[in-house]
Amino acid sequence: MVPLRHINPLPRLLFALATGILFPCLAGQAQIVPGSMNIRWDEGAPNCAASFHVPLQVHSYNSGTFILRESLCSTDEAPFLYLLIGSNRSVLIDTGDVADPARMPLAATVMKLIADHPSAGRGLLVVHTHRHLDHLSGDTQFAHLANVQVVGFDLASIQHFYGFKDWPNGFAQIDLGDRIVDVIPSPGHNETELCFYDRETGLLFSGDFLMPARLLIENTADDRASAQRLLRFLADRPVTFVLGGHIEEDAAGQLFAWQSQYHPHERVLQMARADLLALPAALESFNGFYTVRGRFTMENTIRILIVSAILASAVLAVIVWWLVRFLHRRRAQKHPAHPAAVASAARIEANID
C-alpha cells in the first residue's frame, strides 16, 4: 500500500473531504439517509360508498421511515402519520382521526412494520404534533399494548415528558438508539403544537403548523414566534422536505372545498425549506381573520365564527324588528281605531302642546 504522505496533494484533499477529516459539517450533511416521495395518494371519491378504498395507505420513504395516510373516504381530515424506526425503539408521530381498529387498523399496521424490520427495537413511543382530535383519536389502539408508551397531549404532559422548563423556549430530543429526533415547540395553530426534526433523513414533520392546506391560526403572536424559532433551529441543518399533517390543495394551488372527501389532482405532500423561509413574511401580513399571501391561506376560524355569529344576530334582529312593524301595520289596517278614540287622543295631544 502506498503511504498517504506520498499521494498527490489534490487526491489527498479529496480523500480528506470524503472521510470527514476536513470540514466535518459537510461530511455530516453528506450522511443524510435519502428516501423517495414517489407516491400517489388515494384521492378519495365523490361518492365513497360506491367504491372501495384502503383505509390506511403506507408509503416506505426508506427502509426505516414510513408515511401513513388515513383515507379521505375514512375521514375527510385524511391526516398523515409518520413512523421512524430506531435500533432501541421507534416513534409514531400522531395517531389520526379514527379510533375504531375495525375501520382503521393503525396499531396492527404499525406494529407489523416494526416487527418486520430486521434491526428495529421492539419499543414504540407514540407522540403528537398537537392535541386536536384528528391527530390523537387512534391513541386508544395503543393504550394496552406491551412495550408501547403513549405521551399525553395536554400541555402539562408535554412539558413534563420532554423536559421543557420555559415553554415554548428550548428544544428536546428523542433518542431512538442510533437515531435522534429533535423536538421544537411551535405553538400558534394550537398551544400544544410541536414540530419534529429527524437528523437521519433531514425531514421536518410540521403537523398543522406548516402544510399545503389552510393554516388555521389560534394565536398570531405565538405563530410568528414559532416560525422564527424554527428558522433559528434549522439555520445550520439540512432540510430534505417539510412534511405536514394534511393536504387541502390541488396541483394548481387551489383549495378543495371544506370537508371534501374527493381530492382530484391533489398536490404533493412535501414542502421545501423555501416555504419555511417564506412563512414569517406571510404571517406578518396576517390580519387576524383571513389573509391570502403568496401560497399561504391563513385564517383564525374562531374569530371568523364569532364575527359571523354577531352579523347573523344583527341580521336576525333587523328581520324581527321589520316583522313586528309589518304585523303592527297590518293589524292597524284591519282594525282602525274608533272615531271617538281618535278624537280623544287628539285632544290629549293638543292639551299637552
Q: In terms of domains, do 23 and 84 share one?
A: no
Q: In terms of domains, do 257 and 179 share one?
A: yes
Number of compact structural domains in the chain: 3
CATH number at residue 194: 3.60.15.10
User: Which grid cell sits at 146?
Assistant: 406491551
Q: Are 69 and 282 in contact (CB under 8 A)?
A: no
Q: Are 176 and 213 in contact (CB under 8 A)?
A: no
Question: pLDDT confidence of 125, banded at 50, 70, 90?
Answer: very high
Task: Print the domain residue range for 319.
Answer: 308-352
How many C-beta atoms surround the C-beta of residue 161 within 10 A?
16
Q: Are 256 and 250 in contact (CB under 8 A)?
A: yes
Q: In terms of domains, do 49 and 10 share one?
A: no
- CA dist 183 and 174 (Å) reads 7
Question: pLDDT confidence of 9, banded at 50, 70, 90?
Answer: very low
Condensed to tens digits (0 to 9), the pLDDT of residues 92-122 reads 999 999 999 999 999 999 999 999 999 999 9
Q: In terms of domains, do 111 and 256 share one?
A: yes
- CA dist 97 and 261 (Å) reads 14
Question: pLDDT confidence of 301, banded at 50, 70, 90?
Answer: confident
Q: What are the respective helix, strand and coil percentages of the chain, to the nearest 5?
A: 35, 20, 45
Condensed to tens digits (0 to 9), the pLDDT of residues 25-49 reads 443 444 999 999 999 999 999 999 9
The phi and psi torsions of 107 (rounded to 5 degrees) equal -60, -45
Strands (E), 64-187: 65-70, 80-85, 89-93, 123-127, 148-150, 172-175, 180-185
Provide mean pLDDT across the span 52-80. 98
- CA dist 203 and 259 (Å) reads 28
